[in-house]
Structure 1
Amino acid sequence: MKASPSRALAAGLLALVLPLGLAASAQAVTFTRSAIPLPGSGHGSESGLAVGDFDENGRTDIAVSLQSGDLSILLRDGSGGYVHAAGSPRALGSSDAGPLRVADVNRDGHADVVALQARAAGATVAVLLGDGHGGFGPTSTVPVAGYPGGFGLADLDGDGALDLALPLETPLGPRLVVRRGARDGTFGAPLGAVVPLDGQYPSAIAVRDFDGDGRLDAAVAHVFAPGGIVTVLRGDGAGGFARAAGSPYAIGSGTFALSAGDLDGDGRLDLVSPVYPPGGSDKTVTAGVLLGNGDGSFRVGPAGSFASPPTLNPATPFALPLGDLDGDGRLDAALPLGESAGVWPLLGDGAGRLLSSAMEPIGTAANLNAGAIADLDGDGRLDVLSTSVSSPSRLFVLSNDGEPAIAVAPALDLGSHQAGGPAASATVRVANPGDHGLRIGSLAVAGADAADFAASGCSDRPIPAGGHCDVAVTFTPRTAGPRSATLQIASDAPGTPLTTVALTATATPAPGGGDGGGSGGGSGGGGGDSGGGGRGGAGGGSGGGSTGRGAALKLAARPARAALAPGKRLRLAVTVRNTGRAAAKKVTLCPRTSARQLAAGRCVRLGTVAAGRSARRTFTVTLAKTARRGRSFTVTFTAKASGTRPVSARVTVTARR
């Protein structure tokens, strides 16, 4: 439904087109800014901001709640703009609204909104059930007995219904209270015992599995604790929590926001909060990081840094959403700040630091108090959202303009190599001259001689802007003669879904590998495994082929590709077949993995494999819990017999996301 003229005006984008990024770096990701006026106003406290597909048309919509108590549902239209949904804006029933979440709380398949109202004693949580068309039913409320510091929404007891985790300041001190969720979108009595927290005034919560035991845990920030601390609680899977060993952790003062993600790429969840630097004032903000050890404990991480720290008057950072803004496979962050300091994109270095040295702030000339990161336009690149507390309030949309590009040499000649000999290898360099990470989807070799070529690599992680990766190309000819094929590289580079490289090579005859006996002569002797034939009769030449009458091994492993969850196992069937005319003796079969996160067992001895027969073995590969999700690993099986050249088969195992 289209909005009324007043709504259309309120939802119209202000054409403020500002390409931004560090001018000195051609690879700095850039953003285009636009603004949507919002009804209602802000007073300096945290707003609510989240995304979801409320009308189920495949586009990303936005929910915003302001301190005035107004909830706006903005639906993305086919032209890329936003219009208010029917009934939007709507009053939540009280002023000083806070954070909100989007989730399917009643399990009907539609996105619902859960919003915190009135961050003070006697606060409530509002629940609005979506109808799948952009509309919502009547607001129901959950009473909150205390001063809430945000809330978490997750299935804490494993019953399939989402529960509320509420860090509260109460007359008895700070507590974590869990309200049991029902499948109808309501929340009942507290679940489990009320858990004491370590510091005064909890200000933010993150609910994730920090110790890898399959049960959700909680981390709570305390803004007014001396120096700023985080309490870590281990979940028991039934809705109960207990303080984790080593908790609480000092992270820095000013912790109004807390986010969880893998900042250093070790497969373990870390914690990050916008904080004031040690010994600094509330006019400078940086990022405080706690690196996870994977067992529920944390250690202090490296400090984030700014190219030129913003001087504010003062600043209260209420949000630090995480996402890969530049597409390099590492988590980044967006830090919205008050006092017209703008939004600071903080780029992750993969070692736990969030840095602004490659970026400039995105100016908004407004005081900001909420943020989110999402792909709003479906182009595969993450955009940034932020709300202002100034009146009239505005929603700022920062569209990611970064684009990957691909550059390769048009051809590769691998030269001349002996047929039946060891594989020849070379590389094709894939460069990304764009300003966003490039993802290689797949590699394939096509053409009449494709069987003699193979290619691998570059698909385990994105190629960062300005970076490159080398594709390994091998040439294993079976018979003599010229060879040609085409390497096909699939990527997400706009306008170039498939890039090709012409492959050429020449296979030379093996030593002693003739074309049979000479004319009129006697028959040549039997060729050995290395291809040397016996001498013929008078006028005869050398005989036999590259394998002559010896053994010849072929190797196959199934499945050739598999997706495996970290910590799980996979059984691989490996078959060694002797296609030669003589028995293969002293046959061995050995696995080799590309990384320590993948284990495949030890070598096995197969003994003798008769001509025309096969030997089969099953190998169990195990993917470590620490394996990074989305990364690909390889197991290479090699079979060898006495007097024959080794043969190999490769299996690719991808850590399931």
Structure 2
Amino acid sequence: MSIFKQGLVLATAGNPMGVAIADVDGDGHLDVLTAGFSGVNVWLGSGDGSMTPAPLVPTPVSYRIVTGDLDGDGDIDFLTTNGSNDGVTVGLNSGDGTFTTSRVGVGSEPRGLGLADLDEDGDLDFVSANFYGGSLSVMLGNGDGTFSPAAGGDISDGPDRPVETTIADFNGDGHMDLAVTDQSARNVVILFGHGDASFDAPVPVGTSTLSNAITSGDIDGDGDIDLIVGQYGTVMVSVLRNDGTGQFSTDLTIAGSVNNSYDAALGDLDGDGDLDMVVTDAGSSFINVLFNDGAGNFALETGSTIAVGTSPTGVSLGDFDEDGDLDIATANLNSNSSHVLINTMATYSVGATSDLEEQAGGAGGELVFTITRTATSESEVVSFALGGTATAGSDYTAPGSLTASFAAGEATVVIRIPISPDTRIENDETVTLTLTGTSGEGRISTGAGAATALIITNELPNVAPSGTDRTITVIEDGSRTIGAADFGFSDSEGHNLSAVRISTVPATGQLLLNGVAVSAGQMVSASDIASGGLVYHPAANGDGNGYASFTFQVRDDGGTQIGGTDMDQTPNSLTINVTPVNDAPVLTGDLRATVAEGGRYVLTGADIGFSDPDDSASGVVFRVSGESNGVLRVGGAVASSFTAADITAGRVSFTHNGSETGAVSFRVLVEDGNEDGSAPTQQIFTLAVTPVNDAPVLTGDLRATMAEGGHYVLTGADIGFSDPDDSASSVVFRVSGESNGVLRVGGAVASSFTAADITAGRVSFTHNGSETSAAQFRVLVEDGNEDGSAPTARTFNLGVTPVNDAPSLAVTPLVSTLAENAPTTTAIRVANLTISDIDGGTNHLTLTGADAGLFEIRSGAVWLRAGAVLDFESNPTLDVTLRLDDPTIGSGAEDSENLRINLSDVVEDLIGTPGRDHLIGTSVADILSGLGGNDTLSGGAGQDTLIGGAGVDLLRGGAGADTFVFALRDSASGYSGYISNSTLNPLSGAGRRDIILDFTHGQDRIDLSGIDTDPSRAGDQAFVWGGSGNFSDSRASVVYRQFDMAASANDRTIIYGDTDHDGRADFQIELAGLVTVTRDDFDL
């Protein structure tokens, strides 16, 4: 008979293959989701096993479905593998069981699907098993319902035909691992994870046949995750047991259990605390339920093959009717349905309804046990056994049949056990009822399959116990733990001590229970006494026999039922003797005082003393050690001990050593001969030190050596200070009485400086260069003079190392300017020399510079040599440097002076030759005449006159108002200026004309006055100016033309002169560039 009944057959769309169970609408009841060829069917549960359909969620062809909160909003979402588009559909829940979908691309033909946090970031990730791709896609959740590929991409070195996957921690390292079935080989592949979504190389685990479905769980109760593998094409399931390290044993096969298992699920179906198995049989219309014996062994029992729809390919477990046990949901591929199977298995438990208390001579009674079952739909018989410490037949009567029969619908059966009358005195006894089996599918509860009832029989009234007077001893100032034996407890019935009543408390000292004073009449339990909680403390320094006592009454654990007495009615006494001991003396006084820095303090009785109940002042001594920053003295002498009498006489003092300390101390103890053998305890006497200002003291050797006229920087080794109560920022050095030099700070003359100035190298002494062997200054250091003392000045001495002083040279010029070409037939004295050298010695004078050869030194003066050439144009200034050198002082000259004589320019005529000349004028007004040949004349500065002469000449006036002089035959003589007798053209006369390169209108002039236009007439006849017009037909005339050429560099202006007024040019003059000329630019 099956333990599951058909609950619902849910019609689904599009060949469902996978099924998942979750609460997708947030109402607290489990819902069913199936994934198939048309999408995801959603059925909303009501908590009683009924379902209501929700709208279909369209997806591509889907194989497997898993659920979880993918976007962190608290709602359950889903993932499905889609073999038709190589993707995974993400269905995000709106919170009411409706979904919005999106696609995540994975490998080819994804089938199996696993969901877990693989990278341990708190978001769910997934792994798809890509059947035709031969790969695993690891996709990492971003926490918002989107996914990204793990680093390294798909895992392609695993199974060739991965089908299904399960995710768990197989090796116990806390990270998620993967197990994947491989339909192309007889194995399962294990990939161990690192917690970052990366995995070790795949490890194959062999199976008997080709593997298909897979799930994981602890099937044998050893705490490790094992594997259940459904085989493909065979009628068996494989069980792979984990040894805890991720190593799996050779599989245990369950033959005949299933054919072509596409899915498997684990759960406790029968309530016995271990995992049972449900596997689908896609080659039939059945699923199989296999029960676990707790050790991981499974059996297919009668009635455990359950009919569902055609080709079940998906299975999942959940409590749909909320009765506390697991139900089943399937996805049936070829019947377009999902079956919901309700668990009807009964679980039996037993409890003892009451105990029996029977007095001596009683008439007996009964014990009542109640057997309860969880499911009531079937009739069933439960067998049981009786046991315990009671004896069947004498203490109780067992039923004739040790069974309980449950009718259909019956939930409880009561078992009554008669108890026999009994007059014997004996201990309490028990009866235990243990459930042993059922006649049907029912199961015995693992935790409540047995119950025990108590028989309390044959009791007599309790007789009071008794205590004994006792005496105990305690050491003075000690303590005594009072144990059970100190009360002399005895009981004729063998009962145990349960408590002691303290009737009266000690008059002296303290009796404490767990540190709290005991009061008269207080009950102290035996457990507190056994744990050492009851303790007596005598008063301080108390001693003697019979020092204290208290009374008590003992109580047993027999109780007071039926008129019994559990407490001794007559109090007993516990007397306490205290053995005296020597009391160590104790230091008294505040152990503190105040002493001035460097001062002396006399100790008083208020500062230090002692107390000792059994010694007088003459019997104790104070011992001192560990003095800091001072010494203890007795009667003025350094001492390490003193007496109370010394304190009283004022002979004990402490002298501070004057250091800059805020406090000083010494350790002190007092002892009385140490009769008790104890180690006296030292305490610290502390003296606060009142600081006084200490005047700063100069440090350093206050001496240095420097060169004559030199500069010495003072260092910390030369001068510094010490001051125990001031820092560098609080003191200042003051200087006076400098001799043969000055003190400077930062280069400026100063009379004070700081230690920081010294550290920074800013303090120096500069010698005045005098011929002295020593220099000095007075210096003192002060800190504000808080102590009122007068700082003492000391002398800082500097030894002066003499040096040879460099000579100096003075030049007194006698001549500053000479005319160009001035006569130098005899030498000219141009400057006087003066040499100064405080140390005497031989000095050398030398002349350097480009013009040094023109000068000589003699008779303490500088002379321009006879015959020196004075040419302004080639050398307008005569420069010479005079260098004075003392050979005993290093290398090079010690002093030098420059002497310059300027030459004044004199007008000169520059006359060429009949050949080709290049004449260059000076800055004054020059006359340049080229004579014959093709000459180049450059006037330079000044108002120059340029006469090209015969030949083709280039004329450049340079700066100044220049005059260009022409004769009739100087330039292009005889060239008419016309080409083909039409217009004036520059080609006529080209290459024959003189060219003025820099004619400036309004400044320079062209002089034609030397050309006589009419020799037949008396006098020099002038030209007529025609400007830019034509020649005059009656008189000699001059005109000009501008020729704007294609390249501006070739622009030109040509002056044409007609001397015989025939309308044709007799000479031409070319001006570079386009120049507008007027009558005023000519001397005609």
- TM-score normalised over the length of structure 2: 0.37
Change (3 A) 1:374 1:583: closer
Superposition pairs for residues 563-578 of structure 1, below 5 Å? none
Pairing 1:232–2:190 present: yes
Matching residue of 2:346: 403
Tell me if structure 2 keeps the 8 A contact 1:151–1:205: yes
Name the CA shift for 1:61/1:548 in 2 (closer, same or farther; >3 Å). closer
Are 1:347 and 2:291 counterparts? yes
Q: Is the 8 A contact 1:532 1:544 kept in 2?
A: no
Amino acid paired to 1:165: V
- What is the correspondence of 1:110-509 to structure 2 with a 5 Å cutoff? 110-118=75-83, 122-137=85-100, 139-169=101-131, 174-192=134-152, 194-225=154-185, 228-243=186-201, 247-275=203-231, 282=233, 284-306=234-256, 315-364=259-308, 366-391=310-335, 393-408=336-351, 410-412=353-355, 503-506=454-457
Contact 2:140 2:150 in 1 (8 A): yes
**1:335–1:371: 8 Å Cα contact kept in structure 2?**
yes
Q: CA deviation at 1:325?
A: 1.0
Contact 2:6 2:339 (C-alpha < 8 Å) held by counterparts? no
CA displacement, residues 267-318 of structure 1 (integer Å, 9 cap, x when unaligned): 1100011126xxxxx3x42210111111122112432245xx56xxxx4321
Match of 1:103 in 2: 68
- C-alpha RMSD of matched pairs (Å): 4.4
The CA deviation at 1:609 is 2.1
Aligned residue for 2:57?
90
Q: What do the CA deviations read for 1:557-591 (whole angstroms, capped 9, x no partner)?
A: xxxxxxxxxxxxxxxxxxxx98349964xxxxxxx
Conserved 8 A contact 1:516-1:544 = no
Structure index of larger Rg: 2
Q: Deviations over 1:40-98 (max 9, x none)?
A: 236xxxx121011111111111111112x22111112366422222xx11321x23x11
Count, aligned residues: 440
Take 2:528 and 2:19, find their aligned partners in 1: how far apart are those partners? 72
After superposition, the Cα gap between the structure-2 partners of 1:40 and 1:297, relative to the gap in structure 1 and judged at 3 Å, is same
Q: Which has the higher contact order (CA 8 A, sep 6+)?
A: 1
Matched, 1:49 2:19: yes
TM alignment of 1:3-82, pairs within 5 A:
20-21=1-2, 29-41=3-15, 47-67=17-37, 69-77=38-46, 80-82=49-51
**Whole-Å separation in 2 of the counterparts to 1:131 and 1:316:** 37
Deviation of residue 184 (structure 1)? 0.8
Give the direction of change, closer, same or farther, for the CA distance of 1:415–1:216 in structure 2 (3 Å limit): farther
1:432 to 1:612, Cα distance in 2 relative to 1, 3 A: farther
Letter of the 2:117 counterpart:
D
Q: In the alignment, which of 515, 538, 551 is matched to residue 464 of structure 2?
A: 515
For 1:37 and 1:389, how far apart are their aligned partners in 2?
Answer: 11
Say if 2:468 and 2:487, in contact at 8 Å, map to a contact too. no
Output one character per residue of 1:92-115: Cα deviation in whole Å (capped at 9) or x when no partner: 1x23x1101111000000111111
Unaligned runs of 5+ in 2: 361-366, 377-424, 435-442, 471-482, 502-522, 537-555, 558-1084
Aligned-pair CA distance for 1:403: 2.6
SS at the partner of 1:235?
A: coil
- CA shift, 1:401, in A, is 1.1
Distance in 1 of aligned mates of 2:115 and 2:527:
67
Q: CA deviation at 1:259?
A: 0.3
Q: Report the CA distance shift for 1:531/1:155 in structure 2 as closer, same or farther (over 3 A).
A: same
Deviation at 1:254, TM superposition (A): 3.7
CA contact (8 A) 1:347 1:356 kept: yes
State how far apart, in whole Å, the 2-side matches of 1:258 and 1:374 are: 19
Alpha-carbon distance between aligned partners in 2 of 1:394 and 1:530, rounded to the nearest angstrom: 84
* Contact 1:32/1:399, CA 8 A, preserved across alignment: yes
Task: Please tell me the residue identity of whatever aligns with 1:128.
Answer: G
Alignment check: 8 A CA contact 1:290 1:301 kept: yes
Evaluate the alpha carbon distance shift between residue 389 and residue 170 of structure 1 in structure 2; reply closer, same or farther with a 3 A threshold. Answer: closer
The percent identity for this pair of structures is: 26
Q: Distance in 2 between matches of 1:91 and 1:193?
A: 29
Counterpart AA for 1:579: S
Q: CA 1:82–1:30 in structure 2 vs 1: closer, same or farther (change >3 Å)?
A: closer
Q: Residue 177 of structure 1: CA displacement?
A: 2.7
CA distance in 2, matches of 1:293, 1:428: 47
Contact conserved, 2:262 with 2:313, CA < 8 A, in 1?
Answer: yes
Secondary structure in 1 matching 2:347: coil
For structure 1, the 5+ residue unaligned runs are 1-19, 22-28, 277-281, 418-426, 437-479, 518-522, 535-540, 552-576, 585-607, 614-643, 646-657
* TM-score, scaled relative to structure 1: 0.59
Q: How far is 1:178 from its partner?
A: 1.2
Q: In 2, are the aligned partners of 1:208 and 1:216 still within 8 Å (CA)?
A: yes
The CA distance in 1 between the partners of 2:213 and 2:370, in whole Å, is: 39
Mapped to 1, the partners of 2:9 and 2:494 lie a distance apart of 78
Question: Take 1:530 and 1:82, find their aligned partners in 2: how far apart are those partners?
Answer: 76
CA 1:432–1:219 in 2, change beyond 3 Å: closer, same or farther?
A: farther
Q: SS of the counterpart of 1:213?
A: coil
Residue aligned with 2:264, SS: coil
Structure 1 letter corresponding to 2:124: L
Measure, in 2, the Cα distance between the counterparts of 1:199 and 1:581. Answer: 68
